[in-house]
Amino acid sequence: MNNENKEININTTSEEKVSPQRKREIIKTLLIIFLAALLVLTFFSNTIMNRSLAEISTETAVSGKLTERVRGSGLVESNQAYEVSVEGTKTIKTIEIKTGQEVKKGDVLFTVSAVEDETLELEEKTLSDLELEYQKALLTEPTDYTQEDQAIRNAREDLNRAIAERNAAAANESSAAAARDDYNSDKRALADKTEVQTRLRTAVSAIDSDDYSEASPEYTGSLVSLFNSWMDAAAESEKADEEAKKAEESGADAESAKAAAAEKRDAADRARSDYENEKNRIRNDLMGQLGSVESEIGDISFRISDYESQFGGSGSASSYDAADADVIAKQRTLEDLITTYNKTKRTDDLTNQKAALDLEAQQKAIEKQRKKVDKLKKDSSDDKIKSKYSGVVSAINVKPDEKAMEGTPIAVVDIIDEGFTVKIPVEAEKTKKIKKGCEAEVVNNWGGEIEAVLTDIKNDTVSGSKNRILVFSVKGDVESGTNLDLSIPCGSGQYDALIPKSAVYEDNKGKFVLTVRSKNSPLGNRYYAERVNVDVKASDEATSAVEGDISQGTYVITNASKPVSAGDQVRIKDK
């Protein structure tokens, strides 16, 4: 007890004083605690910040030798091809070859009809025209009376309903006035009950969502007041919890603040309990009222539906005279439809008889023409088209039964011994480093032996083109018409800075790379992206040789988890 009094009065009692050494120790201890807390907070803030930085991958610039290459693609063309043709007009009977097939001199390529005049062709065209006209005649849409039959059935049903309504009007004319009054009364009652139903549903929805802005106060009672009391108590409880937390952190009277916070929580819990109890009670009462109202609506709706099924929905029963007039009108409509239907059928029967006679005449003409064509074909003989050279079939331009005209190639045979050529357009500037006789690598060669050697460099004949054409002699396992992707060497050189091609970027200021600059800090190194403008001197598929403020050993950014700009702080991916 004496010790506690001593600590309380250490600054107020002049008789008991703390020594200067003790004061220095207390100040030193507080300063150490403050610095430790500051260090911990700084560490965690740096850790969180590092996680938000872009994660980068880097490569080191190296010096070395680079062979620059140009990529291009082109179609394989035969150096010499033999075009197969016929003399006169022939009909292709059979095709004895396939595209890509190797043939020898003298092999049969096609079997053709030996008819050289155009008599058979003209007669076949006449037969084809006759058959076409006959098929068109058969395509005439058959006579269909479905729509007319349905219209008559509908009119007959309408007439029967009108007769039934007329009979009902005659039997119920005396009670129609009373039924109409009950109907109008039910319509008004339904509108009133529906309005009550809507207000009840709105109130229940407001209770379920704790949003009473649309609900009528007559249904929610004291819920709005109880809800606001609960919200106020909850806010005070939250505020008291924050004050207790601050008191505990500052070393003040924490117990008193905690007790006050507990009281506020209890008050908030009681306010919530009061609100929930009253909410459940009122909701149950509203649901009971809603069920009663909906039951009444169902009964009223049934009576209204029953009335409308008998008299219609106008609220007034049809008179017997009106019903009788409706019967007469529907009877006339039915009679008109039947008369029109019978007249249409007589006209269609005559038209169909004429069409049948025309079809019979067309069939006789087709049979006569077919016999004529068959006789011409029987009198003809077949001929065989043979290859004049050995090679590979690169194209077949006809199909069986097609006509082959004189001078028109029906097939193309590439003469393999003469080799193949590939032409590739390349920017004129790039061709300055390319020399004739260099061998290009075939990128899309998957298994075969293919050799491509540059034999000529020509100007592009396309108007306005700035390209030149590289002409390659190709030998090996290739076919005419296939596409070759070539990688062409442009010469080698020794460079001071070689970096991945993907590390070079370009904008409106030119080409550049992003290097990594480190900066020391009390918690370790920090890394920043730095723009370095470069000139690309040479490139192959994966590597570029650059010049600029970059040298061997410089780290360049090759990839990043998100976009990086010059000056951005980054973190290096762990390897």
SS3 of 362-404: HHHHHHHHHHHHHHHHHHCCEEEEECCCCEEEEEECCCCCCEE
Contact in structure between 541 and 71 (CB atoms under 8 Å)? yes
pLDDT above 80: residue 509: yes
pLDDT above 70: residue 560: yes
Cα gap 537→66, rounded to integer Å: 10
Question: Could you report the per-residue pLDDT of 35-85, keeping only the tens digit for each?
Answer: 877 676 665 555 555 667 788 888 888 888 877 777 788 888 777 777 888
Cα gap 519→53, rounded to integer Å: 16
Question: Could you report the per-residue pLDDT of 141-191, keeping only the tens digit for each?
Answer: 778 888 989 999 999 999 899 898 888 777 766 566 677 778 888 888 889
**pLDDT above 70 coverage of the chain, percent:** 87
CA atoms within 13 A on the CB side of 430: 21
Question: Could you report the per-residue pLDDT of 369-384, keeping only the tens digit for each?
Answer: 888 888 777 656 667 8
3-class secondary structure, 25: helix
- Who has greater pLDDT, 47 or 363? 363
Measured CA distances, 110 to 84, 87, 121, 217 (Å): 10, 13, 19, 97
Cα gap 432→536, rounded to integer Å: 16
Q: What is the mean pLDDT of the chain?
A: 81
> Span 338-365, mean pLDDT?
89
> Span 193-205, mean pLDDT?
89
Question: Could you report the per-residue pLDDT of 389-400, keeping only the tens digit for each?
Answer: 888 888 898 999
pLDDT confidence band for 5 (50 / 70 / 90)? very low
For tokens 């390209």, the residue is: 467
**pLDDT above 90 coverage of the chain, percent:** 11
Cα gap 311→318, rounded to integer Å: 7
What's residue 4's pLDDT?
Answer: 43
Cα gap 429→149, rounded to integer Å: 82
Question: Could you report the per-residue pLDDT of 269-309, keeping only the tens digit for each?
Answer: 998 998 889 889 988 988 898 899 889 999 989 888 887 78
